[in-house]
Amino acid sequence: MTSLRKIALGALFALGTSVSANAALLNTTVTIEIYQGNGGGLITSPGVQAVNTNPLIAPGTLLDTITYTGDINFFLPGGGTNTIGAFLASAGGSSVGLDATVAALQFSAGGFLNTTVLRILGVAASAFSGDIEHDDGIGLYQGATLVTAVASTEPTSPISTPYALSAGAYELIYVAANNLPEQLTWNVDVTVPEPATLALFGAGLLGLAMVRRRGRNAV
């Protein structure tokens, strides 16, 4: 094998071996059910747990059901506008079907009393993984299976929780239970070639083209 061909094939091989994982925001269309009620007053109360058995997830506490399209990157800072509408608008997406009265309601209050539960329903076209940054509890389900850590379902200080989803329907439960700030940022791992690898790949393609041209000229 000629030296030029070895270099070219080495460059092509490097494309498959030199990659980096970057995070991107999940951008999708989901259904969001909005529930609100008395969370129970304690961090351990059933009404403030981000689980599918939360008693606030019931027809009597359902305020609205909307369709949201855009980044899942919601954030209300401390001292910000503390309403359901402000939270849903904070990511810059579009919310279809949100009632104006519901939008004006307080999103989160201190003391684990007035609690808002978001039940976010979507469908993954293929498997993906990453992490979810949140300051109150989250629980991510596929079917009846909780795919995030049990510890993440209880209201917390800001943490990042890893997950891995298979293709199919999923359900994310987010609880706003103890005043601002409130955050829900859904990150997706994206594997991309390193910049140096892309340059090497281009050199490899050029090298293979030159090898083929030399072969034709030698005939």
Domain ranges of the chain: 3-18+194-218, 22-192
pLDDT band for 205, please (50, 70, 90 cuts): very low
> Is the pLDDT reported for residue 207 higher than 60?
no
> Is the pLDDT reported for residue 56 higher than 90?
yes
What was the pLDDT predicted at 64? 98
What was the pLDDT predicted at 12? 43
Percent of the chain with pLDDT over 70: 78
68: region left, alpha or beta (phi > 0 left; psi from -120 to 50 alpha)? beta
Percent of the chain with pLDDT over 90: 74
Pick the CATH number of 22-192 from 2.60.120, 2.30.30, 1.10.3470, 3.40.50: 2.60.120
> Is the pLDDT reported for residue 66 higher than 70?
yes
> Is the pLDDT reported for residue 95 higher than 70?
yes
Can you tell me the mean pLDDT for 186-208? 62
What was the pLDDT predicted at 11? 46
Span 117-170, pLDDT tens digits: 999 999 999 999 999 999 999 999 999 999 999 999 999 989 999 999 999 999
What was the pLDDT predicted at 23? 87
> Is the pLDDT reported for residue 106 higher than 50?
yes
> Is the pLDDT reported for residue 200 higher than 60?
no
What was the pLDDT predicted at 143? 94
Q: Are 167 and 143 in contact (CB under 8 A)?
A: no
Span 8-46, pLDDT tens digits: 445 444 444 445 568 899 999 999 999 999 999 999 999
What was the pLDDT predicted at 191? 72
Residues 62 and 72: their CA atoms lie apart, in Å, by 21
* Whole-number average pLDDT of the chain: 87
Higher pLDDT, 196 or 40: 40
What was the pLDDT predicted at 210? 55
pTM as predicted: 0.80
